[in-house]
Amino acid sequence: MMNAIEKQWTRVCAVDDIAPDTGVCALYHGEQVALFRLSGQNDVFAISNHDPFGNANVLSRGIVGSRGDRLFVASPLYKQHFDLLTGECFEDPLVRLKTWSVRVEEGQVLLA
């Protein structure tokens, strides 16, 4: 919990750097963060870029989509699905990727 402490928001890129319905990878405090943007939506989602199944930093290069009302990215290596909001793996709910809070302000993507 953030309690009294204000979140430290850091700009990582412009929204327009992310083509709709695709992802990019940002370096944030030494960690690889996969950022995704869905078409028709201004929200940006941030989860770890590391695919724990393939052990490679590739998730930002997966296809995004929906199952029911959950949004996901499918790993480009072996196609496991990860929830964009929670980082949970559909195929193996014990696997949960790190997620970050995202804010879009004046066309810029901020992470905390």
Partner 1 sequence: MSKKRIVVVGNGMVGHNFINTLVTSDHASEFEILTFSEEPRLAYDRVQLSKYFSGYSAADLALVTESEYQSQGIVYTLNDKVVAIDSHAKIITTASGRKEGYDKLVLATGSFPFVPPIPGKDQDHCLVYRTIDDLEAISASAEVSKTGVVVGGGLLGLEAANALKQAGLETHVVEFAPRLMAVQLDEGGGKLLRRKIEELGVQVHTEKNTKEIVAGEECRYRMNFADGSFLETDMILFSAGIRPQDELARQFGLDIGERGGIVVNDYCQTSNDDIYAIGECALWDNKIYGLVAPGYQMAKVAFNHIVSNLLTHEESAVSFQGADMSTKLKLLGVDVASIGDAHGLTAGAQSYVFNDDIAEVYKRLIVSADGKKLLGAVLVGDVEAYGTLLQLKLNDMDIPGNPAALILPATDGAEPVGLGVSALPETAQICSCFDVSKGDIQKAVQGGCCSMPDLKAATKASSGCGGCAALVKQVMDAEMASLGMEVNTDLCEHFAHTRRELADIIRVKGYTRFEQVLEGHGHGHGCEICKPTIGSILASFHNEYVLKDEHIGLQDTNDIFLGNMQKDGTYSIVPRIAGGEITPDKLIVLGEIARDYDLYTKITGGQRIDLFGAQLHQLPEIWQKLVAAGFETGHAYGKSVRTVKSCVGSTWCRYGVLDSVSMAIAIEDRYKGLRAPHKIKFAVSGCTRECAEAQSKDIGVIATETGWNLYVCGNGGMRPRHADLFATDLDDETLIKYIDRVLMFYVRTGDRLQRTSVWMENMEGGLDYLKQVVINDSLGICTELEDNMTRIVGSYQCEWKTTLENPDKLKRFQHFINADEADSNLYYVRERGQRRPATEAERIELVELPPADKQALAGK
Among 5, 6, 68, 94, binds partner 1 (CB under 8 A): 68
Angstrom CA distances, 46 to 4, 21, 49, 98, stand at 24, 14, 9, 9
Q: Is 47 in the site for partner 1 (CB under 8 A)?
A: no
Q: Position 100: which residue type?
A: W
Beta partners for residue 50, in sequence order: 57
- 64 is an interface residue for partner 1 by CB under 8 A: yes
When asked if residue 52 is in the footprint of partner 1 (CB under 8 A), the reply is no
Q: Confirm or reject binding of residue 15 to partner 1 (CB under 8 A).
A: no
The residue count for binding partner 1 (CB under 8 A) is: 36
Interface with partner 1 (CB under 8 A), residue from 9, 76, 87, 96 = 76
